[in-house]
A and B are shown apart, each in its own frame.
Chain A
Amino acid sequence: LAGHGVEARAATNMNAVRDTMDVLLEISRILNTGLDRETLSICVRLCEQGINLEALSSVIKELRKVTEALKAAENMTADFLEKF
């Protein structure tokens, strides 16, 4: 049983992690943050490592803005080129 212990502990760990992630995902959904599982897991890891939260939050927001801007620009360009 000793040999299984590590694995069992690892398995229980994995379960626990998954559960935690589920809970966090649910909270994130309630709060309407728009994060998906992957991003959330990265964020969790960064937070665990003690990152500056305000900075991270602004970075994420900025990145989102950029994404939207690029998307909008692509649409706009498509429109322009259509007209001319």
Chain B
Amino acid sequence: MATPDQKSPNVLLQNLCCRILGRSEADVAQQFQYAVRVIGSNFAPTVERDEFLVAEKIKKELIRQRREADAALFSELHRKLHSQGILKNKWSILYLLLSLSEDPRKQPSKVSSYAALFAQALPRDAHSTPYYYARPQSLPLSYQDRSAPSAPSSGSMGSSGISSVSLCGLSGPAPTPQPLLPGQSHQAPGIGDCLRQQLGSRLAWTLTANQPSLQTTTSRGIPNTARNVTRSRREGDTGGTMEVTEAALVRDILYVFQGIDGKNIKMSNTENCYKVEGKANLSKSLRDTAVRLAELGWLHNKIRKYTDQRSLDRSFGLVGQSFCAALHQELKEYYRLLSVLHSQLQLEDDQGVNLGLESSLTLRRLLVWTYDPKIRLKTLAALVDHCQGRKGGELASAVHAYTKTGDPYMRSLVQHILSLVSHPILSFLYRWIYDGELEDTYHEFFVASDPTVKTDRLWHDKYTLRKSMIPSFITMDQSRKVLLIGKSINFLHQVCHDQTPTAKMIAVTRSAESPQDAADLFTDLENAFQGKIDAAYFETSKYLLDVLNKKYSLLDHMQAMRRYLLLGQGDFIRHLMDLLKPELVRPATTLYQHNLTGILETAVRATNAQFDSPEILRRLDVRLLEVSPGDTGWDVFSLDYHVDGPIATVFTRECMSHYLRVFNFLWRAKRMEYILTDIRKGHMCNAKLLRSVPEFSGVLHQCHILASEMVHFIHQMQYYITFEVLECSWDELWNKVQRAQDLDHIIAAHEVFLDTIISRCLLDSSSRALLNQLRAVFDQIIELQNAQDAIYRTALEELQRRLQFEEKKKQHEIEGQWGVTAAEEEEEEKRVQEFKESIPKMCSQLRILTHFYQGIVQQFLVLLTTSSDESLQFLSFRLDFNEHYKAREPRLHVSLGTRGRRSSHT
């Protein structure tokens, strides 16, 4: 060849690519490589052909195309070419030109645009749902992707279901090399299969089925064009006016997809479905297909209606809004698909109706393409149905219920929506447990705050659980803990006035909140979330208890209550009683509080109580109860302990009233003990003296016996009260309080303690009878004391007089007179006689007293044995240890039942 530049074929090829594609060298790399591959595989030229043969072929072709003039022109040109000797292989260029020639009558093929349309991935915006491609053969999808990292991991693909259809489509020239290899027929169903397997989507299937016929392959250039032409001619017959064409139906369907009534397919409100108009002249199969497709429109309407309604609802709340937003995004993806279909339709319109079969939208194609979207819309519509009328945590629970499905596709969709929906709830939760703040205008969170409650009842009443709003993925235990944490923080801020920032208090790092967080939460729900809540709970509660104990000495106050109100500090109580005795025998109306307070302080200073901390002693005080007529001081006196601030949360007003009742009871019992010791003292002091009045011995003996009985009784009662009731319960309380993890535990333990004491001290309503009996016993003791006092007075008086008499007698004898005159002696005799007569009266009085007392005690015992409390039953054993009362009381003879209880006979 005489041309000056002998460039290498590669360079030429590259230039060719640049020219045809109209781009610079760098951009054509891909295509260039492809070209090289193709041509390089077959560089050896084919069979040498004759130049004249080729020229003849061209002429024939031109004549066939009815271009005789052009044929003549060509002959001329060929002759000229032939005469020039420049080219060596004239035939080759002629052949090439022939193969590249195109019939001017043939329509420009729209095939390429069509394939390209679906070969391109749609522009990837922030898509809604990650499309989890859970198919077994997750092979790389195209030539380019083969080098890319394989199998899309969850969340990384980030495209919606609709556009992912195109992702598995073909891009550009990728699949074409195979069919171009020489020797392969252009039909190549095997290739279609292989590609089908690779891509695995129905769309690719339809595409590859079309591909082979779309390509104009090598040796079939002319016949192919011929075939295409004939086919298009055949297609031209459709479009009769009577029958509704498939194209019209397709147009209608595209409207129906958006929820708008088409010309032939309309929404029938009575049956709530889309129906094809009966009069339309349609084949049954088309009608059925159309109706099936219309379901998509129905689903779309349902979802749209819900979101539209909800967007108008002002009180829907954050959770509901995020739900609607998620639905809206899904619908947006759906709209994208619709717009793609629409533009396809548009393209067809622009080119005229008579197109090849391959490039039009048919109902069947729509069916296949909308299969996946239909599943999505179905899931969404089911969700919408389920979530009607719910909001807040309830809505989240409803969505959560739908994640329990085996279908991984549906599960991923619903989980995505769930993570969006639960994000507001989680943000509420985090704010609550880390800051103690609750900003819940629509009442969606499961912690409710009552604004009318003041700070003194903050712990008990202000915050409650809204049970309906607890989402189903948060357990009851967790929600209680959450409530407690926030409550503690608020308590610290408002009641304890402790403004320590939570950052210092809580060592847990606060994770960034994002929807991704919410999604993670559900996959790893057990550990991360529970861990967070537990950590926050431990830290907050520990801190709260520390503050209460150190700053407010809660436990110290509890012990102080025990010592003073529950008569734990024996020496102090004793001394107090000693000092108060002369005051309290006076009528109640004459008592003055300041006097009593002064006595209290004296008692404190004189005993071990003085070593208590001044904080505690400050709170100790005297309280005078309401005065009823006839009360003595003993009936109205009470100690009191002032509580305020955080301590009042544990020692509420109710608790304090319980304490006072118990104090009253214990104080009375103590007083009885005191009285009896006085009686005993009296006995011992006067016994010697009264030995010289022998008449008295009977009376005194009776007195002693009765007193002993009473002492025994009171002794047992005191033992019971002190050991069985107070000490045991206190021990339990103390253990619980030491081990308590949060304030609720302490409050609960304390309440249990008080309840036990109250019921065991016979102060609750079920033991009223017993209590009355006991009071009666106490009254008898007081009676005895009075009686005894009277007896002693008389006796001592008598003794005094006798002594006086003896004195006088001695005096007279010393003076030398008669010791005693007859008249004096007589007088004396008379007096002694009178005295002796009064003794039986005293005896009988005592006997009555004894009898009365014993009756009361027996009644008490009977009641005890029929009580349900075990310790009271044991008390009855101890009281009647030597069966002294049993001998007298026939009712006590009844044997005990199998459970150690006597049935109630009263």
Contact = CB atoms under 8 A, between A and B. Distances in A.
Given A45-B3, A56-B96, A59-B35, A51 B87 contact: no
B814 interface: no
A42 interface: yes
A55 B38 CA distance: 7
Contacts of A26: 73, 77
Nearest to B94: A27
Interface in B1-46: 1-3, 7, 9, 12-13, 15-17, 19-22, 31, 34-35, 38-39, 41-46
Nearest to A44: B93
B405 interface: no
A69 B113 contact: yes
Given A13-B2, A55-B42, A61-B216, A20 B16 contact: no
Nearest to B86: A20
Interface residues of A, number: 57
A64 B215 CA distance: 13
Contact of B9 (A49, A58, A60, A80): A49
Given A23-B80, A57-B99, A68-B112, A52 B73 contact: no
Nearest to B13: A46
B694 interface: no
Given A43-B96, A59-B38, A76 B81 contact: no
Contacts of B113: 68-69, 72
Interface stretch (B100-108, B281-289, B785-793): B100-108
Given A35-B100, A56-B39, A77 B123 contact: yes
B668 interface: no
A76 B93 contact: no
A5 B27 CA distance: 45
Interface in B176-216: 176, 180, 182, 216
A59 B116 contact: no
Contacts of B99: 53-54, 57
A45 B46 contact: no
Interface string A66-84: 1111101100110111011
Interface in B36-90: 38-39, 41-46, 58, 62, 67, 70, 73-74, 77-78, 80-81, 84-89
Contacts of B16: 39, 42-43, 46, 59-60, 63
A47 interface: yes
A52 B182 CA distance: 11
A73 B116 contact: yes
A12 to B, nearest CB: 10
A7 interface: no
A26 B629 CA distance: 139
B173 A59 contact: no
Contacts of A59: 16, 34-35, 38-39
A19 to B, nearest CB: 6
B559 interface: no
B98 interface: yes
A67 to B, nearest CB: 5
A67 B22 CA distance: 8
Contacts of A50: 43, 45, 89, 92
Interface string B466-504: 000000000000000000000000000000000000000
A33 B21 CA distance: 16
Nearest to B19: A39
B339 A80 contact: yes
B112 A33 contact: no
Given A30-B73, A45-B3, A56-B39, A69 B112 contact: yes
Contacts of B217: 58
Interface residues of B, number: 75
Contacts of B17: 63
A57 B100 contact: yes
B180 to A, nearest CB: 6
Contacts of B339: 80, 83-84
B343 interface: yes
Contacts of B9: 46, 49, 51
A27 B77 contact: yes
Nearest to B342: A83
Contacts of A76: 117, 120, 343
Listed residue (A24, A30, A31) with the most chain B CB atoms within 10 angstroms of its CB: A31
B96 A47 contact: yes
Nearest to A79: B343
A4 B189 CA distance: 65
A53 B92 contact: yes
B102 A33 contact: yes
B42 to A, nearest CB: 4
Contact of B43 (A16, A36, A39, A52): A52
A7 to B, nearest CB: 13
A59 B529 CA distance: 60
Nearest to B2: A13
Contact of B97 (A19, A28, A83): A28
A17 B102 CA distance: 26
Nearest to B79: A23
B115 interface: yes
Contacts of A16: 84-86
B12 A46 contact: yes
Given A47-B96, A57-B99, A67-B22, A23 B176 contact: no
A73 B3 CA distance: 40
A53 B219 CA distance: 11
A53 to B, nearest CB: 5
A26 to B, nearest CB: 5
A81 B122 CA distance: 10
B27 to A, nearest CB: 10
Contact of B96 (A30, A53, A70, A79): A53
B95 interface: yes
B154 interface: no
B315 interface: no
Contact of A52 (B7, B39, B77): B39
Interface string B126-146: 000000000000000000000
B96 A48 contact: no
B610 interface: no
A25 B362 CA distance: 43
Nearest to A63: B20
A34 B38 contact: no
A43 B9 CA distance: 10
Given A53-B45, A66-B172, A30 B74 contact: yes
A52 B44 contact: yes
Contact of A62 (B70, B102, B173): B173
A27 B102 CA distance: 13
A31 B20 contact: no
A58 B217 CA distance: 7
Nearest to B16: A42
A17 B86 contact: yes
B903 interface: no
21 contacts: A23-B77, A23-B84, A27-B78, A30-B67, A30-B77, A32-B101, A36-B19, A43-B16, A47-B92, A50-B92, A52-B45, A53-B95, A53-B96, A55-B39, A56-B39, A57-B99, A60-B16, A63-B17, A65-B112, A72-B117, A77-B123
Given A32-B103, A46-B12, 8 more contacts: A17-B2, A24-B93, A32-B104, A33-B101, A50-B89, A51-B45, A59-B38, A70-B21
Interface of B: 1-3, 7, 9, 12-13, 15-17, 19-22, 31, 34-35, 38-39, 41-46, 58, 62, 67, 70, 73-74, 77-78, 80-81, 84-89, 92-104, 112-113, 115-117, 119-120, 122-123, 172-173, 176, 180, 182, 216-219, 336, 339, 343
Interface of A: 13, 16-17, 19-20, 23-24, 26-28, 30-36, 38-39, 42-70, 72-73, 76-77, 79-81, 83-84
